[in-house]
Structure 1
């Protein structure tokens, strides 16, 4: 069992857990993930590592309530425990001195981009970060991302905070500007990563994305997380989760993510009915 040492509700549906997991903490790196189960009969789901403290032996994850398992996870309180916390899994994000790196994050993926921006800056890069949300009420970790960036741009779809619009607008402006952009790291909803990659492609700027397909075992055995990258089948859990965004077959990935929508909806409804939730 893995104890929740700290719980923080970043927004009504986005939550932070700091978990006692010393074996994971001592090996964790930016861009990697863990696979968790809420209880012994629970579904296995991947969560990206948002932070870690090797001295304390803790790992921080941030998740958003979407389906049954994340909603069930959100019922766990500080000082309670979850059944399994396996990791770190996946390949860490490649960190080196590229020059100017633009980190683009959408929604709760801000938690994923923060350690990457931090490590990129430590490596001597100039880091320009763009964080996008649907509305002001969903904004979190602005100060944390600002602290590891040389420049931060905030956007909201409805214009309630920061610039009005989507993240690809300031991204394109940076690419068109006088300063050369050497690398873009884009993490967030699949559609956002797709259009970030389409935005950078005409400029020939390498773009790294972190994919989140359906995943089960997280060790490359089941093949559920397969994606097509440059016409080659890759397993996200062991070959990724980072890939070249210009080579990903986005339409295939998005279609695969929709395969079990009906089953996911039914599972959530049954769980809500069983525990009297809506």
Structure 2
């Protein structure tokens, strides 16, 4: 059992939890993730490690309530317990020898981009962070990102924060102005990561994306998280989640992501019926 030490509401659908997990915190690195179960018989879901404190033995997770399990997790409060909290899983991000980087987060992907920016900053790299959201009410981690980057650019689809556009608009402007990067990290919706990768390809800038496909066991046995990279099948849980964005088959990944939408919707609807006292207890 893993105790929730802190809970914060970042926006109406996104929650942050600090969890007492000293064994995980001891070895956690940016880019890695955990798999949790809220209760016995529950679904196993992967969540990226958003932060960690080795001295306090804590791991921070940030998640959006979009399905049955994330809504159940979001209903827990400080002092409650999570049944299983396994990790760290996946390969750590390789950030050695990076002097100048652009770290890009789209929506909830900002929570995954944050530890990357924080690590690069601690290593002395120059970091530009670019984050994008649908509107100003959904912006998260603005203060945290400001502390770990040299410049922070925040865009919104509707311009409600005074800066309308997409993360690719900002990145293209910076590149056209002559800004140079050793590395671009893009984390967020597949379509956003694809767009960033397509943008950086003609510039010859190494671009890393974080893939988060459907995942069951997190050890490479189930095969559910397979992605095609450079024409080869890889497993995000053991080979990733970081991959070369110029080699990822995004079109295939987008098709696979939509495979279980019907089942996910049915599961959520059944869960909401139970909460409302309509379905079976």
Match of 2:20 in 1: 20
SS at 1:164 equivalent = coil
Match of 2:74 in 1: 74
- In the aligned structure 1, how far is the partner of 2:58 from the partner of 2:99? 32
Please show how residues 44-63 of structure 1 align to structure 2 within 5 Å.
Answer: 44-63=44-63
- In the aligned structure 2, how far is the partner of 1:174 from the partner of 1:277? 53
The alpha-carbon deviation at position 162 of structure 1 amounts to 4.1
Match of 2:9 in 1: 9
The alpha-carbon deviation at position 97 of structure 1 amounts to 2.6
Match of 2:124 in 1: 124
Q: Which piece of structure 1 moves more, 234-243 or 106-115?
A: 106-115
CA contact 1:37–1:43 (8 Å) conserved in 2: yes
- In the aligned structure 2, how far is the partner of 1:170 from the partner of 1:119? 23
Match of 1:90 in 2: 90
CA contact 1:129–1:153 (8 Å) conserved in 2: yes
SS at 1:163 equivalent = coil
The alpha-carbon deviation at position 7 of structure 1 amounts to 0.6
Cα deviation per residue 1:45-69 (whole Å; 9 max; x = unaligned)?
Answer: 0000011111111100000011111
Please show how residues 166-177 of structure 1 align to structure 2 within 5 Å.
Answer: 166-177=166-177
Cα deviation per residue 1:198-220 (whole Å; 9 max; x = unaligned)?
Answer: 11111111100000100000011
The alpha-carbon deviation at position 157 of structure 1 amounts to 0.4
TM-score (norm 2): 0.97
- In the aligned structure 2, how far is the partner of 1:197 from the partner of 1:21? 35
Match of 1:262 in 2: 262
Which portions of structure 1, spanning 4 or more consecutive aligned residues, are displaced by more than 2 angstroms? none
SS at 2:59 equivalent = strand
1:200 aligns with 2:200: yes
CA contact 1:111–1:141 (8 Å) conserved in 2: yes
Root mean square deviation, CA, Å: 1.2
TM-score (norm 1): 0.98
Cα deviation per residue 1:12-62 (whole Å; 9 max; x = unaligned)?
Answer: 110001001000000000110000111111111000001111111110000
- In the aligned structure 2, how far is the partner of 1:45 from the partner of 1:96? 30
